[in-house]
Structure 1
Amino acid sequence: MHICFLTNEYPKAGFPHGGLGSFVKTMAETLVAKGVQVTVVGLNYVFSDEIENVNGVNVIRIRKSKVKGLAWYFNSKNIGKTIAAIHKKNPIDIVEGAELSLAFLPKIKEIKYIIRLHGGHHFFAEGENRGINWWKGFQEKRSFKKAAAFIAVSNYVKSHTATYLSYHNKPIEVIFNPINSQLFQPKNVAIEPNNITFAGTICEKKGVRQLIQAFPLVKEQFPNAILNLYGRDWLFPDGSSYIKMLKEIELPKLGEYAKDVVFHGAVSFTEIPNAYAKAAVCVFPSHMETLGLVAPEAMAMEKPVVFTKLGPGPEVITDGETGWLCNPHEPKDIANAIVEVLSNPEKAQAIAKQAKRFVSEKFALHEIAQNNIDFYKKILLF
């Protein structure tokens, strides 16, 4: 079997990437270990073509088009030509991409095209409190029509996406994203008892602003608390920095507590476990998630986790049993959950151990990879 993943975010040293890139890397390398041939095709981080084999995965990065206004057309055309050339030499069975990826991609009749629901434009419109951009909305609808099947990374993303878009009666299956248990496992590292850690893109939909607003309420009971924020900056449509906004508007409201909010910037995927290892509590108060791997990754390391009660939160955490769920729009609710963890370290550790057992079963890498292989085989029969 030959699988081709479409992504522009496949991890590359020296360049930031998101959760989609991390997922594809983890899944691709595991599929290779199971005897599946995997190719990744996407646009390069720099203006050049590049081909490399990374741990058995053939990664093809294509030079981005610089044609203003028509870059989308030429990029899709070049990706399509690349896939056709690969297929002619070494037939591809499945092409898989995210929600928008098939919109302008020429289809080859021998290939089955699958969309994995990582959270598309329609899905996140509500979470970001904005309307549907007609151009992105058009692309997403066009892409969905071209898919032979769908994989949803949670029951929530499956049901919520269906309120906006049709699956056209095509097969759809819920398969959680896996955890890389070799990377995310307990470490013999001293825990910093006042260390509150967040990891993810520093943006509004991840609940960072409300987490900062919750921080003074935590400081009232734990004066030595430190809020560590790991992640890349997000830019507003006008190009301005979200972190800069936080520093200019939100941090001054904290007064003397502002010095204890630390922005560490983007860190590599392999460095994140070191950040979690030192934390007394990991907090991810997202407004909207498809699944949110950061929470189960931290849980896999036996860390007490505070996660959002919205969306897929209850699929990942049973409140009070495997972690804590909070209202991400209410700073007081976020603070209360953090204070409960810091006030009860023995209880928190017992819950963290239970959390690890849960994710070891539900997010097991090789089992989930096999679930994907089984689904691919089923689609190839259609």
Structure 2
Amino acid sequence: MHICFLTNEYPKKGFPHGGIGSFVQTLGRTLVQQGIEVSVVGLNYTPNDEHQLLDGVNVYRLKKSKVKGLAWFFNSKAINRKIATIHKQQPIDIAEGAELSLAFIKKVKNIKYIIRLHGGHHFFAEAENRGINTWKGFQEKRSFQKADAFIAVSQYVKTHTEKYLSYHNKPIVYLNNPVDTDFFRPIDKVVSELENKIVFVGTVCEKKGVRQLIQSFPLVKNEIPKTTLEIYGRDWLFPDGSSYIQMLKETELPQLGKTAKDIHFHGAIPFTEITEVYAKAAVCVFPSHMETFGLVALEAMAMQKAVVFTNKGPGSEIIMDGKTGFLCNPNNPSAIAEKIIWALSHKSEARQIGIKARKEVLNNFNVKILIQKNIQFYSKIISGKN
């Protein structure tokens, strides 16, 4: 079996990547360990073509076109050409990508095409209460028409996507994103009682709830003075190119007075260092306004950390509130602060919740279990037994 993932986000040292990149890396490595051929095709971060063999995964990064107005055409042409070359050398059975990925893919005979629902344009347009971009909406509909099957990473993303897009009566299965519980495991690191670190990891943008988390921080400091807020992740840019982090520093932090000095922006960090970041946390907080799944929450849970997650979207699919973590209203800074304060004030109970959290991940989100379910679905689609 040969699986080809279509993504520009596969982790590359020295460059930031998103959740899809982390997911493909985890799944790809594990598929290789099962004796399955894995390729990744996408656009490069740098202006050149590149091929790397990373943990058995063949990663092809292609030079990105800079032709204004036609970059999509030339980029798609390059990707199609690379897929055809790989297929000729080592026949591809499955080509998989996210919602928009198949829009300009030229289908090749004997390759089955799968869309994994990570949250596409229509999904987030609804979640963020904004209009549909005509060009992106067109691409997504075209992509869905080309798919032979679909995988939903949560029940929530499946339900809300089908409000706007048809699955065209094609096979669809519900498979959570997996967590590598050997990589994300408890680290014996003593977290000082004087180091009540609140840790956020993710893209620093409005929909991740970072602004409300910052607004909750003074309420936490009033109860537990020796607390810091550590924010890790790449910056988000507004359409005019301005920085979201800079906006927070100019509009939100000045309102906090002396409290602002205990909020630290660390920027993006390599994937290999993320476990060290989680290990130093007293509590991990991800108050997203919207998620399709929420992999960072599960990664922290796998490390036996007390996690505060959003009660929106698939939050309740991942965390049992008060048992394996905490759910909060991400739009309410007081509600976020309440959960953080409880976790920091009840360290023994929070540790027990962390232990239960890891057990939950091991039983339901472990890559060793989910890899077999993915392979079974791939096999079913390849054989045509729907």
Same fold at TM > 0.5: yes
In 2: Cα distance, 1:192 partner to 1:174 partner: 41
Which residue identity lines up with residue 315 of structure 1 in the other structure? E
Q: Can you give the 5+ residue segments of structure 1 that lack an aligned partner in the other structure?
A: none
8 Å CA contact 1:192–1:279 kept in 2: the answer is no
**Counterpart for residue 14 of structure 2:** 14
Q: Structure 1 residues 308-317 or 117-126, which shifts more?
A: 117-126
In 1: Cα distance, 2:63 partner to 2:76 partner: 12
Q: How does 1:119-130 map to 2 (within 5 A)?
A: 119-130=119-130
**Counterpart for residue 57 of structure 2:** 57
Deviation at 1:128, TM superposition (A): 2.8
User: TM-score, normalized by length of structure 1?
Assistant: 0.99
Deviation at 1:90, TM superposition (A): 1.3
Q: How does 1:220-231 map to 2 (within 5 A)?
A: 220-231=222-233
Which residue identity lines up with residue 3 of structure 1 in the other structure? I
**Counterpart for residue 358 of structure 1:** 360
| 3-state secondary structure, aligned to 2:252 | helix
Offset from partner CA, 1:93-151 (integer Å, 9 cap, x none): 00000000000111112110000011111111133332111110110010000000000
**Counterpart for residue 335 of structure 1:** 337
Offset from partner CA, 1:161-192 (integer Å, 9 cap, x none): 11111111111111111111122110011114
In 1: Cα distance, 2:192 partner to 2:175 partner: 35
**Counterpart for residue 4 of structure 2:** 4
Which residue identity lines up with residue 219 of structure 2 in the other structure? L
User: Which of 366, 371, 374 does residue 373 from structure 2 map onto?
Assistant: 371
User: TM-score, normalized by length of structure 2?
Assistant: 0.98
In 2: Cα distance, 1:266 partner to 1:22 partner: 14
Offset from partner CA, 1:164-223 (integer Å, 9 cap, x none): 111111111111111111221100111144111100000001000000000011111011
Offset from partner CA, 1:279-335 (integer Å, 9 cap, x none): 111000001001111111101101000000010000100001111100000000000
The answer as to 2:169 corresponding to 1:164 is: no
User: Which of 208, 211, 218 does residue 210 from structure 2 map onto?
Assistant: 208
**Counterpart for residue 141 of structure 1:** 141
Deviation at 1:366, TM superposition (A): 1.6
8 Å CA contact 1:127–1:205 kept in 2: the answer is no
In 2: Cα distance, 1:192 partner to 1:303 partner: 15
Deviation at 1:17, TM superposition (A): 0.8
Deviation at 1:86, TM superposition (A): 1.1
In 1: Cα distance, 2:225 partner to 2:276 partner: 24
How much is the aligned-residue C-alpha RMSD, in angstroms? 0.8
In 2: Cα distance, 1:89 partner to 1:307 partner: 45
The answer as to 2:85 corresponding to 1:85 is: yes
**Counterpart for residue 73 of structure 1:** 73
User: Which of 293, 305, 309 does residue 307 from structure 1 map onto?
Assistant: 309
In 2: Cα distance, 1:261 partner to 1:183 partner: 28
In 1: Cα distance, 2:54 partner to 2:192 partner: 36
Q: Can you give the 5+ residue segments of structure 2 that lack an aligned partner in the other structure?
A: none
8 Å CA contact 1:121–1:140 kept in 2: the answer is yes
Which residue identity lines up with residue 98 of structure 2 in the other structure? A
8 Å CA contact 1:50–1:61 kept in 2: the answer is yes
In 2: Cα distance, 1:2 partner to 1:273 partner: 30
In 2: Cα distance, 1:82 partner to 1:318 partner: 44
**Counterpart for residue 280 of structure 1:** 282
User: Which of 256, 259, 280 does residue 257 from structure 1 map onto?
Assistant: 259
Q: Evaluate the alpha carbon distance shift between residue 377 and residue 60 of structure 1 in structure 2; reply closer, same or farther with a 3 A threshold.
A: same
The answer as to 2:199 corresponding to 1:197 is: yes
Which residue identity lines up with residue 316 of structure 2 in the other structure? P
| 3-state secondary structure, aligned to 1:339 | helix
Which residue identity lines up with residue 222 of structure 1 in the other structure? I
| 3-state secondary structure, aligned to 2:279 | helix
The answer as to 2:102 corresponding to 1:105 is: no
**Counterpart for residue 297 of structure 1:** 299
Q: How many residues align?
A: 382
8 Å CA contact 1:192–1:278 kept in 2: the answer is no
| 3-state secondary structure, aligned to 2:240 | coil
In 1: Cα distance, 2:163 partner to 2:287 partner: 24
8 Å CA contact 1:128–1:204 kept in 2: the answer is no
Which residue identity lines up with residue 88 of structure 2 in the other structure? K
Q: Give aligned-pair identity as a percent.
A: 65
Offset from partner CA, 1:58-81 (integer Å, 9 cap, x none): 111111111110000110111001
